[in-house]
Amino acid sequence: MELGVYGLSAKATLGPVDTARLAELAEDLGYGSWWCGEHVVLPSPRVPASPMAPEDPILDPLIHLTYVAARTRRLELATGIVVLPQRNPLVLAKQAASLDVLSGGRLLLGVAGGYFEQELAALGVPMSERGSRTDEYVDAMRALWNDPAPVSFHGRHVSFADLDAHPRPVTPGGPRIVIGGHSPAAFRRAVARGNGWFGTGSSPEELTAHLRGLELAAAQVERPAHLGRLEINFMQINPVEVDAASARHYAELGVDRLTVYPLPLEDPDDAARFLERHADLPRS
């Protein structure tokens, strides 16, 4: 099991000096991956369902990870997650391929359908279409990365013919796509379309329930052979502190990347101390 760090593209940790310091520290401490999420817009004033206050700053994940790529050499660069249906899949495919090239193949492209209706609506995406758009956009991006020219794709939400886009990613097959979410639909999407799955929870017991959901999905949908084994990525929240016993349990459950989240992100020095405390967690 590898360790990853999440969320340092927001609030007090997002400036260039602190980003460089924390990313280099994470790499020096042996963390294997650096994860960030996204919100394009948030309602103002805040509504109860909003995950963040409207004044809480959070960087665009692809731009943030490009900066981190330039300051590191080994860290995998992961989105956890991009809200895929509110993105143009051709533009995102170009951005992801570009970052994959510039980072030497270190991108993990985590995507999900999203859940926050106000944000999706502001970007022109009906809640009723978020799942079908997510599935179709994954397929369209992979076509641009992999199909021989001229590339064509015809779906309900995106359709194009006789196109090509270069540079192609340096990662064979394109950046690995990680599917986030805990719903039955998200589990099926991870099995059918994801190189990996990304989830959150408060304990190894909560992860066990998610793994049962993935097992049920695997009995319902076919997994293409080219995707290989489904990688399991998990982040513990509430509590954010992970103890050694829990880390061992996560490893026993087959977690590939255990991601820690140095909340509350109010002080970069606190985040650094959090990374130092968790760097020696058991990996097996």
Cis peptide before 150 (omega within 30 of 0): yes
- Compute the C-alpha angle 61/67/73, nearest 5°: 115
User: What is the C-alpha separation between 59 and 14, in angstroms, rounded?
Assistant: 7
> Whole-angstrom Cα distance, residue 282 to residue 203?
16
Decide if pLDDT at 49 tops 90.
no
- For residues 59 and 82, the answer to whether their CB atoms sit within 8 Å is no
Best CA proximity match to 273, nearest among 2, 78, 1, 26: 26
pTM above threshold 0.95: yes
For residue 95, pLDDT beyond 90: yes
Per-residue pLDDT at 102 exceeds 90:
yes
Please tell me the predicted confidence (pLDDT) of residue 255: 98
Q: pLDDT tens-digit profile of 186-209?
A: 999 999 999 999 999 999 999 999
Give the C-alpha separation, 146 to 160, whole Å. 15
Work out the mean pLDDT of the chain and round it to a whole number.
Answer: 97
Q: What is the arithmetic mean of pLDDT over 78-82? A: 98
What domains are there in the chain, each with its CATH number? 2-278 (3.20.20.30)
d(CA 232, CA 110): 12
Amino acid at 176: R
Residue in this structure with the two tokens 């650096």, named with its chain if needed: 34
Q: Tell me the mean pLDDT in the region 258-273.
A: 97
The mean pLDDT of 153-172, rounded to a whole number, is 98
Separation between Cα atoms, residue 88 and residue 196, nearest integer Å: 22
**Contacts of residue 22, Cβ cutoff 8 Å, sequence gap at least 6:** 5, 8, 13, 268, 271, 272, 275
Contact 61/10 with Cβ under 8 angstroms?
A: no
Distance CA 46, CA 53 (A): 6
Tokens read off for 85 = 């249906």
